[in-house]
Amino acid sequence: MRAADLLTPPLPLLVPAETFDGFSWHPSTTLTWRCPADAPALNALDDQLPLGMAFVLRAPWPEIPAELAWLHVGRAQAATLGLSGELALAPYAIDDATDLLYAERRPPAETFWLAADNVNALYWALHDWSHFHNHGEFTDRPSTELQCDAAALAWLWINRDAVALPDAHWEMLRRGALNNHRALRAATPDSRCPPPTALEDAAALRALAEGLLRTP
Domain boundaries, the chain: 2-212
pLDDT tens column, 96-136: 999 999 999 999 999 999 999 999 999 999 999 999 999 99
Please tell me the predicted confidence (pLDDT) of residue 137. Answer: 84
Average predicted confidence (pLDDT) for the chain: 95
d(Cα 107, Cα 130) in Å, to the nearest integer?
12
What predicted TM-score, i.e. pTM, was given to this entire model? 0.96
CB 23 within 8 A of CB 144: no
Ramachandran angles phi, psi of 85, nearest 5°: -100, 10
Please determine, for residue 29, whether its predicted confidence score (pLDDT) is greater than 90.
yes
Question: Predicted confidence band at 50 (pLDDT cuts at 50, 70, 90)?
Answer: confident
Please determine, for residue 47, whether its predicted confidence score (pLDDT) is greater than 90.
no
Please tell me the predicted confidence (pLDDT) of residue 49. Answer: 78
Taking alpha carbons only, the member of 31, 35, 41, 30 closest to residue 2 is 35
d(Cα 43, Cα 142) in Å, to the nearest integer?
24
pLDDT tens column, 153-197: 999 999 999 999 999 999 999 999 999 999 999 999 999 999 999
In sequence order, what DSSP letters do the residues of 10-60 get, joined into one string? PPPP-S-GGG-SBTTSS---EEEEEESSSS-B------SPPSSEEEEESS-
59 burial level (CB within 10 Å; 0-12, 13-18, 19+): exposed
Please tell me the predicted confidence (pLDDT) of residue 216. Answer: 61
Average pLDDT over residues 46-70: 93
Taking alpha carbons only, the member of 172, 129, 127 closest to residue 150 is 127
Average pLDDT over residues 9-16: 97
Please tell me the predicted confidence (pLDDT) of residue 97. Answer: 97
CB 126 within 8 A of CB 49: no
Please tell me the predicted confidence (pLDDT) of residue 215. Answer: 62
Please determine, for residue 30, whether its predicted confidence score (pLDDT) is greater than 90.
yes
d(Cα 84, Cα 172) in Å, to the nearest integer?
34
Note the residue count of the chain: 216
Chain mean position to CA 166: 19
d(Cα 153, Cα 145) in Å, to the nearest integer?
12
